[in-house]
């Protein structure tokens, strides 16, 4: 909850300083620094969440949840899934690859935004 409050404050300050740029050109530096802090904050939050979410202990539990969803949404039984465990684990890994790719793209976007704002700031 606190991260959303900080994000709202930094976003509001970025917009405010961006609008006040016509009053004094120095406000553009404040806007860039607030925007850079906002993007850096989210990059760090997403990076920490990534490493916590994809720990090996969490993956085993997520695989069990994946199997439960398969049983509930398809005509498969848990016995069939356990017989062909390697096949379903491989499908589970593919879905993880898609999720990891999206997470890394979000992190790289936030880092890229930070670098762009930091380089403009300098």
Given this model, what pLDDT does residue 102 score? 95
Given this model, what pLDDT does residue 85 score? 87
Cα 37 from Cα 13, distance rounded (Å): 11
Determine what percent of the chain is predicted with pLDDT higher than 90.
53
Given this model, what pLDDT does residue 73 score? 87
When computed from its CA atoms, the radius of gyration of the chain, rounded to whole angstroms, is: 22
- Could you tell me where the beta strands, DSSP code E, fall in the chain? none
Cα 4 from Cα 8, distance rounded (Å): 6
pTM above 0.85, yes or no: no
φ/ψ (deg, to 5) at 54: -105, 30
Which of 80, 52, 82, 51 is CA-nearest to residue 64? 82
pLDDT in tens, the chain (122 residues): 999 999 999 999 999 999 999 899 889 999 999 999 999 999 999 999 999 988 888 888 888 888 988 888 888 888 888 888 889 899 998 988 989 999 999 999 999 999 998 888 76
Given this model, what pLDDT does residue 53 score? 87
Given this model, what pLDDT does residue 5 score? 97
């Amino acid at each position: 909850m606190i991260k959303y409050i900080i994000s709202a404050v930094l976003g509001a300050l970025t917009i405010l300083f961006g609008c006040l740029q016509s009053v004094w050109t120095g406000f553009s530096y404040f806007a860039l620094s607030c925007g850079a802090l906002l993007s850096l904050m989210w990059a760090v939050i997403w990076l920490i969440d990534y490493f916590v979410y994809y720990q090996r202990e969490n993956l085993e539990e997520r695989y069990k949840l994946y199997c439960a969803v398969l049983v509930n949404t398809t005509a498969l039984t848990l016995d069939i899934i356990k017989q062909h465990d390697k096949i379903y684990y491989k499908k589970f890994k593919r879905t993880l690859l898609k999720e990891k790719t999206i997470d890394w793209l979000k992190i790289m976007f936030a880092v890229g935004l930070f670098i762009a704002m930091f380089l403009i700031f300098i």
